[in-house]
Amino acid sequence: MDFPKEKIEALKSKLKGSDQTIAVAESATGGLLQAAIASAESAGDIFQGGITAYNLGQKARHLSVEPIHASSCDCVSASVARQMAVGAREMFSSDWAIAVTGYATPVPESGNKVFAYISICCKGDEVYNQKIKVDEAVGLPAQLLFVEKAIDGFLQVFDSTSG
């Protein structure tokens, strides 16, 4: 599996250098974001843990995602991503959290499109929320693209956030 190793090491270096930690909540990426971060050398120094929650019941139960809104959008929206990030940060007592929710394959619920929402929160405040649209990748290639975009988002906001 080809994770963006240099970017993962940069993420680890930034967190370790500031004595901060990160957690992950994901659905569309199916655990790949957790695997990517865990692939860093000495990842335990910065990675608190993660959760892969695919359905509304699990997102509501474990991440405090509001079920009425989540039900209305098949658990895929900027708001659901934010709630997942906040929930993961609280669940794992981390400084930072990244959440990804979306569609890695085209389905009727997605309008037959492939896209995901990525949210990043730091100490309770959302500092990044982006919709990533994919035209040519489907399945695993789309999931890996979402992972890389999530790490890119973290690297983009880390230095500008008081963290």
Contact 104, 63 (CB under 8 A): no
Instruction: Judge whether residue 161 has pLDDT over 90.
Output: no
How many helices, marked H, and strands, marked E, lie in the chain?
6, 5
Q: What's residue 160's pLDDT? A: 84
Class of domain 5-158: alpha beta
CA–CA distance, 140 with 153 (Å, rounded to integer): 20
Q: What's residue 124's pLDDT? A: 81
Name the nearest CA neighbour of 111 among 131, 140, 84.
131
Q: What's residue 163's pLDDT? A: 46
Q: Where are the domains of the chain?
A: 5-158
